[in-house]
A and B are shown apart, each in its own frame.
Chain A
């Protein structure tokens, strides 16, 4: 079994402290007696798409929630560009430039698609404690929202209520909202969950475009998508890192094969 630190030995980038965007050190989270994330130490490098896979209950979602401040950490540290962000509340993490999407579609269904993105873009105003001028009169915010809407391919649904577009489009909107917050790092939590075939293909296209422009942490179930998108792959099982490294290496690993197909020795 390789150590998690092999992630840093990715082929495309040398290990350079400056290139480490996000790092976890011994990150641990307990729920009662259950250790959902257990001493996870990972490095996420600038410009890379780093996928995290693993069976249900492996701790992927908990990891995302810890990285983005949605859950407090039990033990360990999280560093963003060298500064600790451990246990910062979610809104502060977001303001630092870590944008996340959610596994379960998490939008404002009654608002128009544009308003969803506009609200996201508005979060980058110095403050939203502005009471008099209409929100729609802030043109830079509008432009950012429109750009995000176009980037996620929903410009044609600009004025439709987000709850009325198709499920796949809602997943796209979810990503559009993240883009509208000008993130430096994207944390995408199962962006393909529950999508149809054509919808998946469309979204994978979108993710590919994003992968070339952003540093991405991608938590996903869909193997095809992961293999076609990721530079680095981390496999989690039972809250711990089973393997981490370049995609092809991890893919060939026996331990990973077993985690997915069973170890065959499970005589009963």
Chain B
């Protein structure tokens, strides 16, 4: 019996971790390559969730709405990069913090204006709305498995793109030395815009996919932002591999923290981060 509960917790932890990875990977790429601290990254997560809720309500299909929210988040990301973020490349990190903080306020207020202050729930599509029976008393929702599978596949796809494609080589090279990338004849401005848009799209997708599990509520972007920063810093800023392991570590720490120390679950997550940084001040893979 205990073994089943353990398995469920592991599955939950991994699912949460994979979801965090989708958001954190964009954050770490944007910082690693473009040198931008983007506090508004969590807002794309929120945007994805609200788009999923809103489009599902109007189209009746969550699948369709998730697919639609992806290009919308990417487009919003690209426009923000081109209009505002681009002015910040050579500026102090604090200017970036301030500007993207301003963006958070605008995103949060726009969300309130468009969709109000209520908490919304999103229904799981019928195909996935059933549970896997593990024992007489325990079952596991299939949607969570589906979520893990999608996030896992995306992580693999991202791994493939980053390690095997030319685009991935440019991205990694950009993280190491962006001036040299330009000196090789690669359009760095465009590359940055695309990376920003992809990061936004991934965060939006994570928000859309998780909307049936976590519900949709104002300010949901802020908490995911902070936890993703924790992931990024644990893994080492700029490292995709680090973000992946950091996300799983935090996903599991959070889940098991809730089981074993229900009163101090969140404390555990930050404790893990503090411990990692005291051991390795620049993260695991910097």
A–B direct contact (CB < 8 Å) = no
A residues near B, CB below 8 A? none
Residues of B within 8 A of A (CB): none
